[in-house]
Chains A and B, each alone.
Chain A
């Protein structure tokens, strides 16, 4: 079974600083996608960034980047120049291509931005 683990229930960072959210996953499959989703108080799920497992290069979207360590099964999210609007729940997720295709989520990390 695939599992995704976020070991940090809560994180906080000063505005304009950099913060890293951790995520580890477990799968025996070789073909999968990894995601970070943001959930603001509005409850809407918003895709932040996506990483294909076959790509060695870390994905980047503006102030958001990932550190994808395939051998260690680690997928952390780095937010640079944190802004008040970044405050939200962040979920790491994995989608396995082979077999039963399921999108599996981690427990979530609540990020607070201190002004």
Chain B
């Protein structure tokens, strides 16, 4: 059981570049979300989805886009990377029965 698979694990971007962080889960969870983790600020919600075709903004959505065409996948797109987006990014999916969140291994993104 793979759980939540998040790729890549590390990435360095130049300012202005775009990229997509991939997230896939094989647990048939309807709820998926993206967080960024910065020192002293915990995990902050970027975007989330309660099912295929449904997405909504979290606390810090600016500079990021998401889509949810299937239950399994929830990619996060950085449109034009900025140094302020240097962070560790986590994807998570959640069981509706236990409400336990399952996390990917995280992506350490550096924007130079």
Asked, given contacts A43-B105, A43-B106, A50-B98, whether A102 binds B42 with beta carbons under 8 Å apart, the answer is no
Does A44 make an interface contact (CB < 8 A)?
yes
Residues of B within 8 A of A40 (CB): none
Among A33, A35, A95, A107, the residue within 8 A (CB) of B42 is A107
Residues of B within 8 A of A107 (CB): 40-42
Does A100 make an interface contact (CB < 8 A)?
yes
Residues of A within 8 A of B35 (CB): 105
Residues of B within 8 A of A28 (CB): none
Give the interface size class of chain B.
20 to 34
Among B26-45, those with CB < 8 Å from A are: 31, 33, 35, 40-45
Can you offer 12 A-B residue contacts whose CB atoms are under 8 A?
A6-B42, A9-B40, A33-B99, A43-B105, A43-B106, A44-B103, A91-B43, A93-B43, A95-B99, A101-B50, A107-B40, A107-B41
For the residues of B in contact with A, the DSSP-based class is strand
Among A76-92, those with CB < 8 Å from B are: 91
In this complex, the member of A35, A43, A44, A106 whose beta carbon has the largest number of chain B beta carbons within 10 angstroms is A43
Asked, given contacts A45-B90, A91-B42, whether A101 binds B31 with beta carbons under 8 Å apart, the answer is yes
Task: Return the chain B residue nearest A91 by Cβ.
Answer: B42
In this complex, the member of A4, A50, A97, A103 whose beta carbon has the largest number of chain B beta carbons within 10 angstroms is A103
Q: Spell out A's residues near B (CB within 8 Å).
A: 4, 6, 9, 33, 35, 43-45, 47, 50, 91, 93, 95, 97, 100-108
Q: Mark B77-106, 1 if CB is under 8 A from A, else 0.
A: 000000000001010101000111101011
Q: Are A100 and B45 in contact (CB under 8 A)?
A: no
Q: Are B45 and A102 in contact (CB under 8 A)?
A: yes
Residues of A within 8 A of B42 (CB): 4, 6, 91, 105-108
Residues of B within 8 A of A47 (CB): 100-101
Question: CA–CA, A100 to B47, complex, Å?
Answer: 12
Q: Are B45 and A103 in contact (CB under 8 A)?
A: yes
In the complex, how many angstroms separate the beta carbon of B30 from the nearest chain A beta carbon? 10
Give me the 9 closest cross-chain CB pairs, A-B, nearest first.
A45-B103, A105-B43, A107-B42, A105-B42, A33-B99, A43-B106, A108-B42, A95-B99, A106-B42
